[in-house]
Structures are given as structure tokens and as C-alpha cells.
Amino acid sequence: MPKDFSTMEDSNRSGNASIHDQIAALPLNRRTVIQGAGLASLLGLLQPLAGCANLGAGQPRLGFTAIPPGQTDALVVPPGYVAQVIARWGEPVGIAGNMPAFRTDGSNSAADQAVQLGMHHDGLAFFPINGSSTHGLIALNHEYTDDGLLHPDGFLPMNAAKVKKSQNAHGLSVYEVKFNGQAWEMVRPSAYARRFTMDTPFEMSGPAAGHPLLRTAADPQGRTTLGTLNNCASSATPWGTYLSGEENWMFYFGGGKDISAHHKRWGMNEKGLYGWERFDTRFDASQTPNEANRFGWVVEVDPMDPTSTPVKRTAMGRAAHEGAWVALTQDQRAVVYSGEDARFEYIYKFISSGRMQPGGAKANRHLLDEGTLYVARFDANGQGQWLPLVHGQGPLTAANGFADQGEVLIKARQASDLLGATKMDRPEWLAIDKASRWVYCTLTNNSQRGAPGKPGVDAANPRANNSMGQIIRWREAGDFDGMNFEWNHLLLAGDPANERAEAKGNVKGDILGCPDGLGFSPNGLLWIQTDAHATQMYKGEFARIGNNQMLACDTATGEVRRFLTGPTNCEITGVSFTPDGRNLFISVQHPGETPTDRSDPKQPQKYSSWPDHQPDGRPRSANVVIRKIDGGVIGT
């Protein structure tokens, strides 16, 4: 999502010209030209370190040459690496007999868009076919749309056909990829190719399935919902499925003048951001109040079975789910960590009752339906506790508005409020170091921390007006199912040259702001991706940080080294490696995103024409696969 939507007040959410002008932006100084001075000295600091156990004696842990901050409309990787663009927005996903070509003027129909890759690529995962590192499937989230780019005439006026095209540009894609010895290519047509849009049926499963709060006139059983919304981060499970988080679903609904306290607690406003509620009554919460309860779940997809029905797993709770990530206990129970990316919201953990069985997706299709959900409390002494979200325990009773366990899960945020969970600085991605059992989570920023009437700093969220974000980590007492943990910060992001103490950070190595994407490579390096908003780039406290980027961290030493910089006003997100660690797939999201006026379809082109740089061509989100020219392991 263009990231500070949650600061916005309700009045201008839908029809008005400027989406971004209400964003709590940093001072809009002149666009700063980043100077090379100082860079050389930074690079000089980054000599390869001595070896590490899992890479073999004498091998450097971080073996690549750091690159400077990005300041052009280009994707840059270190010397010795090659980056290849694949799977741009609007390319056919590969459904046989239905592969309409992309039209650069935005004139593809809604029906075309339903079989083309969606917009605004986000989380992704590579699924090897027969264990291969050169042939597999990519499952991919399409988080949101920029309707200024999507339609020939931009965002306004909205109409039913444009809403349908936007709905078809959301959701998920599954596509097939193969390395031909020289380059990666999409396999088209492919029996695996699939799009999930707002018309795709999803099964609701787990304790809240069928709950009265999930029933609608169109689905009186409350067990089948159409579509998935604002899918952000993702992961692959140990049993071979794809997990995707429904994040900012609330902004697609209009709550009307008499919006309920429940919907309000979730950030819904009188009007939706996109105007969908004016053309599709599902999104008018004054007419269809329970429809919104059918979003905010962790979605599970079996990418290998193109006939499988995707499932919304209610046992893991409803939230502004960034994503969900699985660890296994020694006895093979699934422990799923997730957070919700919103200011002052929470981090969750689910422990399955059952154990993972051999046999992949089919054998484990109910594993995430039964278990216990917990929310995190980070205490000032470096310890923390998981608090159970169980109906009838503590304050989670009918007297406090929770009729049953289903309602606790549907209102997980309200339940977590009552339990005294720690209000975090926008939890984004998580990454689990299975060897050391440390779990990492990016807390991307929180400009309202410490503001009048808002929560103040605490040990886990230690900076007021937190423009830069931090990465927190914890380790459970005992196995991953532990109820207590120790925690600390891997790093506080920032730039030591900043004047404001809270924006300096303590990064050892290359500076960054707003960590978001996160993931371990097979060789144990932690990869960090950033999402500073377009209103921040090159300005104020971000003057020296440059375009959004990807960095590698050696968690043993804390050293951070810049690996990739993206084109202008994009976000770098999505991180997945082939099993051999020699190919890295990422998403470049919203190149050229305008910091000002989205109603003008030409606006994004003012900032970016990536990746194809054609005159008048629309910038396009895309996947990028990165290899080492010598075929080696990425990062070494």
C-alpha cells in the first residue's frame, strides 16, 4: 500500500483528486542530489569478514561489493551479478488459449486483466518442480492497483467497468518459470498458470467458518467468500503451500455515515479509497456489513494443484495481516508467526494442535485449522510473553463482547487490546532462523509514536516520531511453542548524519530506512528490503538513503551491506531463493508511484518508465530474478 494510508482521515478517501496529499509526509525540501562524497569511505569499511561455520572455513559471509545508494530510474546490483526482469504487470499469466497481449495505453479490458498478471507485485515464493532449482512455479501477490496507470483515462471518474478491471488486477498469480541455460523465462501456456481475482471462490475454514458474523445474503452459510484483497507478504510452508496475508482490506470498503464501532476499530472509514462501494454493494458496509469480516485472513494456496480451492484460515485470526511464516516444533507442530502492519497493532503466533504429516499439501490440508492463537507482549526487561486468544479465558468473555471463539478470532484486534498486548510500530515481514531459533520482524516506521494522544515509546518501540523503523527479534524459551521469550533489536534503521537523534539509527554498515521485506537465504544470510514512501525519497531525513533497496545482513556480526537498489519511487519487496541459493526472485513494486496526484494517468511516468523505458510507456511492477554471473551462491 502507499504506505501512510493509515494516517489518513476519512473525508478524502474516495473521489478526491489527491490520494497522497494527506499523508503525514516529511518536510518537502528540494529534491536532493545525492553526492558521491562519503560513499567511498563507506565502501572502504566493508571489507569481507572472516569465515562462518555454515559456509565453510575461510569463506566470507558477505562476499559481494556493496553498491551506492540508488538515485536513478534503474535497478542496480553488485558487480558480478545480473538482474533479469520477468513477469511484468499485464503480461499473460499463461492460460492456454487465453493470453491477451499487454497494451501500453492501458486499454486492456477487465476480462484481459483477469488472465494477465495483476498489478503491484508484492510477496512471492518459488516452488521447485521435483526439487529443481531451474524449473518451478512462482506464486505472487498483487497487493493493490494504481488506477492512474491501470486505465487509459486514469483514476477518475470511476465506473463499474473500471472497478471490475481493478478487482481483476488484485489477488494472486501462479506462473511457471524455467532457466534455459542463459536466462529465466515464463513457460506459456502452462497447466499451472492461474489467476485469483475478486471473483475467485475461497473456502473459509477453521473455528470462525460459518460464524454468523461471516454470513451474507450471497453466502448464507458463511463458508465461501469471493476473492482476496490487498495481499502483501507471503511465504512457502514446509508442506509445499503458499501463505499470503490480506493486509489493508479495510480501505476497499465504505462504512457509510453510521459506520459500526467494530469496523471503525479496524480503520474502515465512511468512504473507501477506491470508490468500489459505489459500484459493488459488497463493499458498501452499510448494506453488506459482514462482507468485510470475510477479509483480513491468512490465505493458503496449493500452487501445484491448479484445480485446488484456496482457503482462508480463520484459526490464525483476523488482522491487517502482512503475511504469515511457519516454523516447526521438534515434534512437527506448525508454529505460524504473523503481524499486522498498522500503527500500534500486534504480533501473533499460532500453534497447531496436529503435526505435519508426510505427503505435502493434501496430507496437511487441515493442519492450520486447529490450534491456539497468541498475541505478543514485549516487556521492558528484554523478556516477553505470549497471551492466549482463547474464548472464556481472562477478559475474552461474552460480557466483554465475545460470544464464542469465532468472535474472538474475527475481532482479534479488540481481543488483543483487552489482553494488554504490546502496540508495535507497524509489523511487516517476519523471518525465522531455523538454526538459531531467533525470529526476526521488521517494524517499518511509526510517525505517530509519542505524538499527543498516541502511545509513547516503550522498550520494543523505542523512538518517538519513528520515521526509520527497526528490526526486532526474539527467541522462545524451549522450542518454538514456548510461552516466554527473550528479545532485542537487530538494528534501528536510520542515517547517523541526521540531526534528529531518533532518525540516526545504529546500523553497522550501509544505511537504510523503513525495513519491510525480510527473508533468509539457504546459506543463512538475512535479506532486508525497504519501503520508504515516495514522499520521503531524497528528502529530509532520507536525503542520503536514496531509492528503496535490498541489503544483506550477517546476523552473527550485525553487518549490513547494500546489494540492490530499485528504480525511482518503487518499493523492493518479495524475497525467495531457489533451493541451491543461486537464484533470487524479488518484486519491484509501484515504480514511479506519484507522491502527489494519482488522478492524472501521466503522473507516474514523470517519475519512472521502468523497466522498459519506452517513450510514453507506463512503468510496470515486475519480478526480477538475480543470478551471479559465475553461477555461484547469491551473497557470497
Contacts with Ca ion by CB under 5 A lie at 3, 428, 444, 516, 531, 571
Residue closer to ligand FEO by CB (options 396, 441) is 441
| Site map (CB under 6 A) of ligand FEO, residues 458-497, x = contact | ----------------------------------------
The answer to whether residue 4 forms part of the interface with ligand FEO (CB under 6 A) is no
Q: Which of 112, 146, 219, 341 binds ligand FEO (CB under 6 A)?
A: 341
Shortest Cβ distance from residue 229 to ligand FEO (Å)?
Answer: 11
Burial class of 632 by CB neighbour count within 10 A (0 to 12, 13 to 18, 19+): middle
- For residue 500, CA distances in Å to 108, 127, 542 come to 48, 44, 12
Q: How far is the CB of 143 from ligand FEO (least distance, A)?
A: 5
- Give whichever of 95 and 319 is closer to Ca ion, judged by the CB atom: 319
Burial of 11 (0-12, 13-18, 19+ CB in 10 A): exposed
What x-and-dash track marks residues 189-228 binding ligand FEO by CB under 6 A? ----------------------------------------
15-to-139, 198, 286, 347 alpha-carbon distances in Å: 33, 21, 18, 33
How far is residue 598's CA from residue 348's CA, in Å, rounded to a whole number? 34
Q: How far is the CB of 441 from ligand FEO (least distance, A)?
A: 12
Smallest separation, CB 328 to ligand FEO (Å): 26
Least Å distance, CB 370 to ligand FEO, is 28
**Partner interacting with residue 345 (select from Ca ion, ligand FEO, none; CB below 5-8 Å by kind):** none
Q: Provide, rounded to whole angstroms, the least separation between the CB of residue 299 and Ca ion.
A: 16
Report, in this order, helix, strand and coil percent for the chain, each rounded to 5.
15, 30, 55
Site size for ligand FEO (CB under 6 A): 7
Cα distance between residue 196 and residue 227, in whole Å: 7
Nearer to ligand FEO, 146 or 247 (CB): 247
Cell of 39: 560513499
Q: Which does 20 bind (CB under 5 to 8 A by kind): Ca ion, ligand FEO, none?
A: none
User: Measured from the CB of residue 598, what is the shortest distance to ligand FEO in angstroms?
Assistant: 17
122 vs 369 by CB, closer to Ca ion:
122
Tell me which H or E stretch contains 264.
helix 261-265
Q: Are 127 and 304 a contacting pair, CB within 8 Å?
A: yes
Minimum CB separation from Ca ion for residue 532, in Å? 9
* Closer CB to ligand FEO, 1 or 575, in the complex: 1
Residue 57 beta carbon to Ca ion: minimum distance, rounded to whole angstroms: 37
Q: Per rule CB under 6 A, is residue 243 in the interface with ligand FEO?
A: no
Residue number of the CB atom closest to Ca ion? 531
* Residue 140 engages ligand FEO in binding (rule: CB under 6 A): no
**What is the residue-wise DSSP string for 324-363?**
-EEEE-TT-EEEEEEEB-SEEE-EEEEEEEEE--SSHHHH
Three-state SS for 293? Answer: helix
Rule CB under 6 A: say whether 143 interacts with ligand FEO: yes
Q: Does 247 bind ligand FEO (CB under 6 A)?
A: yes
CA end-to-end distance (rounded Å), the chain: 33
Amino acid sitting at position 561: R
The partner in contact with residue 167, picked from ligand FEO, Ca ion, none with C-beta cut-offs of 5 to 8 angstroms by kind, is none
Beta carbon of residue 211, minimum distance to ligand FEO (angstroms, whole number): 26
Site string for ligand FEO, 419-438 (x = CB under 6 A): ---------x----------
Q: Taking CB under 6 A as the rule, which mask of x and - marks residues 286-325 in contact with ligand FEO?
A: ------------------------------------x---
**Nearest distance in Å: CB 516, Ca ion:** 4
DSSP assignment letter at 116 = B
Of the pair 291, 531, the CB lying nearest Ca ion is at 531
Task: Report what 247 binds from ligand FEO, Ca ion, none; CB cut-off 5-8 Å by kind.
Answer: ligand FEO
Place of cell 533468509: 520
Edge-to-edge order in the sheet of strand 559-565: 508-509, 559-565, 549-554, 526-530, 515-520
Q: Distance between CA atoms of 50 and 220, rounded to whole angstroms?
A: 62
Specify the residue, 323 or 482, whose C-beta has the smaller distance to Ca ion. 323
Q: Which does 146 bind (CB under 5 to 8 A by kind): Ca ion, ligand FEO, none?
A: none
Minimum separation from the CB atom of position 159 to Ca ion (A): 26
Write out the DSSP string of 368-402: GGSEEEEEEEE-TTSEEEEEE--TTSTT-SGGGT-
Where does 155-197 have alpha helices with state H?
160-169
- Tell me the CA distances in angstroms from 589 to 250, 311, 531, one per residue in order: 21, 25, 10
Residue from the set 125, 213, 232, 550 that interacts with ligand FEO by CB under 6 A: 232
C-alpha cell of residue 149? 496507470
Using CA atoms, how far apart are residues 315 and 526, in angstroms rounded to an integer?
Answer: 29
Q: Which residues bind ligand FEO (CB under 6 A)?
A: 1, 143, 232, 247, 322, 341, 428
